[in-house]
Structure 1
C-alpha cells in the first residue's frame, strides 16, 4: 500500500480527515519526531507528504530525501513561501487551492461592508465624543465588485456580494468561468476591471507575473472612492503607490489582510509607510482563513487531491516552479 506522510502540527481531527480521505488507498503516517532514527526512512519511503509550513516541518537535508515522483501537497493555497531551492526537481508540488475559501469570503465581505459603511471611522469618532451623522455610506446595490483572479476565494466572495445586489466582473488566466458574471477576461483586460469596479478584490497568487501587478498606473485607473481589498499577498501591490493613493484620496478605502512583511515569512511585521495614520485603512493580521474547525477541512481537501494522484489521476493545482523564480 502507498504511504502518505503528514508533517503538519498535531491535530487529531485533521489526522482523521486525512485518514478518511485516503481510506483504502494509502497508509497515513505522522512523521516521527526530530531525532528519531526512523524519521529519515519515513521520508525516503513516502509516496506523498502533506505539509502546512514546509520550511518549519522539514529542513533542507530532509527534503532532499523525498523520492522520485513523490507528491508534496501543501495545505496552503499560496505557495510563494515554499523553499523551492530545497525541494528536489523530482518532487511534484501541489497547492491547496480554494481549501480556505469559505471563511476567507466571509472575512472579505466583512471588510467590504465595514469600509463601505465607515464603521471603524464612525466608531473612532464616537469614542472621542464626536456624533457625526454627515458621513455618507456606500449603498452596494447596483455597484460592481471586481476581482483580480477568479479562483475559489474570489468565487466565494462573489456568491456573497450577489445577494446584496452587486454585479461581478473579473479577470483570470483563462478568460472564462462557469460562474454567473457580467464580464470575465484575462489580465490583458485588467484596465477594464480596474476602471469599472466600485469594490476590487485581489485574489491572485503571488508569482513572478503578479509581483507589483498593481502599481501607480493601475491605482490611477480606479475610482477615487473605490474600495480595494487585498487578502492575497502584499507584494502584488506597490506599497508606496498605494500609500500615496490613499493619502491623496481619503475616500479611496483599503482593507489589507496580507502585508508586505509579516512575522511568519520575514520575521517581523513592518511597513515602509505610516498606513495606520490614515483613517481610510482597515487592517487584519493575515487571518482571513483562521476560524474554528477549518484546519481539518483544509487537511481533508488536501488529502483528496493526494488520493487523485495516488490513483493515477491528474491532481489539481500542480505548481509550475518557474512561476516562483523571483
Structure 2
C-alpha cells in the first residue's frame, strides 16, 4: 500500500474528502502545521506527495526527506514559482491544469465586458455627478474576433463563451498548432503575429516559461489594433511592463485588464509596480484573484486527487509536466 504526504493547508471539509478518498487505498499523513523535523520524518516514509506549493509548505526540509517520493501531484495550475531541485530526478510531477478554468474564464470575460462597456469609468463619472447618457458609446462584443494565447482549459472555456454568447470568431495559439475544439484559426507561438493583428480581444492564459517570458513586447504591441482589449490572466512577466505602459500611454483607445502582476505578495511578499497602471483610465486591475471563487480549493483538490487515484491504480497519470528546461522565476 502506498503512503501519501499531503502538505497543503486544508479545511475540515477538505480533510474529510482526503480521508474518504484514500480509505482502504493508501496510507496518508497531513504535514501542514507540523514542526519541520516531524514533516521530514513523515515525508521520508511516503511515496506520493500532494502539495499546493511545496516550496512554501516545506521550506526547511532537506532533499533527503524527498528521497522516496516517486510522484507529486500539484494542486496549483502554475508551476513557474516552484523549486523542484529537492525531488529525485526520477520523480514524476503532475500539474493541475484545468482546475480553475471555469472561474478564470468567468473573470476574463467579466474584464472584457467591463472594459468594452467602460463600466468603471462611467461609474466614476456618476460619482462626480456626471450623467453622460448620449455621449458615452461603448464597444460592441458581437461578431468580433477573440484571440487566445494558451489554448488550454481556461482558453477553451473563454472561447466557448464568446462563440456561443457573442458569435465571435476564435483565433488561438497553443504548443502544437492543432486542436479538436472549434476555432476559426489556430497556430503556434511562431504564428502569434497573425493572432495579434486580427484580434479585437486578446486573452493570455499561457504558462510562464523561458520561452514565454517577455513574449509581448514593443514589437508585438505595435501589431495590436489600437482599440483592442488585452487581458492577462497568466503571469505578469509574459508582457514587458515598460512596453505595455508606453502602449497604454500613447493609445487611449487600447485597454488592458491585468489580473497577473509583475511583483505580487504571493511570490515576493509585496505588491509594486514600476509604472502607475492603476491610475490609467484604460486599465482595469484585479489582485490575481481570477481563480478565487467559493469552494475552489476543494474543487481543485478533487481534480488532483482523481489523478493521484489513477496513478495508484494504473501507474499512469494525466497532466504530467515536462521539467527538462524548468526555470524558477521567483
Into which bin does the TM-score normalised by the smaller protein fall? over 0.9
Identify which of 210, 213, 216 aligns with 2:215.
213
- Could you say which residue in structure 1 is the equivalent of 2:238? 236
2:307 pairs with one of 298, 305, 308: 305
Question: Aligned pair in 2 of structure 1 residues 64, 214: CA closer, same or farther (>3 Å)?
Answer: farther
1:153 lines up with 2:154 in the alignment: yes
The residue that corresponds to 1:110 in the other structure is 110
Q: Among 198, 201, 212, which residue is 1:199 paired with? A: 201
Q: Which moved more, 1:88-97 or 1:201-210?
A: 88-97
State the aligned residue count.
326
Q: CA deviation at 1:176?
A: 1.4
Deviation at 1:35, TM superposition (A): 2.7
Give the equivalent residue in structure 1 for 2:141.
Answer: 140
Q: Which runs of 5+ in 2 are unaligned?
A: none
Contact 1:69/1:91, CA 8 A, preserved across alignment: yes
Gaps of 5+ in 1: none
Please give the TM-score of this superposition, normalised by the length of structure 2.
0.93
Deviates more, 1:243-252 or 1:25-34: 25-34
Shift of 1:87: 3.5
Q: Does 2:101 correspond to 1:101?
A: yes
Deviations for 1:160-211, whole angstroms, at most 9, x for unmatched residues?
1222221111010011112111111111110111111100000110011110
Q: How far 1:45 sits from its partner (Å)?
A: 1.7
The answer on whether the counterparts of 2:176 and 2:187 sit within 8 Å (CA) in structure 1 is yes
Aligned match of 2:290: 288
Shift of 1:232: 0.2
Map 1:245-284 to 2 at 5 A.
245-284=247-286
CA distance in 2, matches of 1:263, 1:107: 20
Superposed, which structure 2 residues align to 1:121-200 within 5 Å? Answer: 121-133=121-133, 134-162=135-163, 163-200=165-202
Residue 80 (structure 2) aligns with: 80
Deviation at 1:27, TM superposition (A): 2.6
Output the CA distance in 1 between the equivalents of 2:179 and 2:13.
34
After TM superposition, the structure 1 stretch with the greater mean CA deviation from structure 2, 311-320 or 279-288, is 311-320
Contact 2:51 2:73 in 1 (8 A): yes
Measured in 2, the distance between the counterparts of 1:208 and 1:36 equals: 32
Which stretch of structure 1 is more off in the superposition, 37-46 or 241-250? 37-46
Give the CA deviation at 1:71: 1.4
Residue 245 of structure 1 and its aligned partner are, at CA, apart by 0.4
In 1, the alpha carbon distance for the partners of 2:172 and 2:209 equals 19
Distance 1:268 1:183, change over 3 A: same
8 Å contact from structure 1 (residues 67, 91) kept in 2: no
Distance 1:114 1:303, change over 3 A: same
Report how far residue 294 of structure 1 moved: 1.0
Say which structure, 1 or 2, has more relative contact order (CA 8 Å, 6+ apart). 1
Cα distance in 2 for residues equivalent to 1:129 and 1:96: 47
- Taking structure 1 as the reference length, the TM-score comes to 0.94
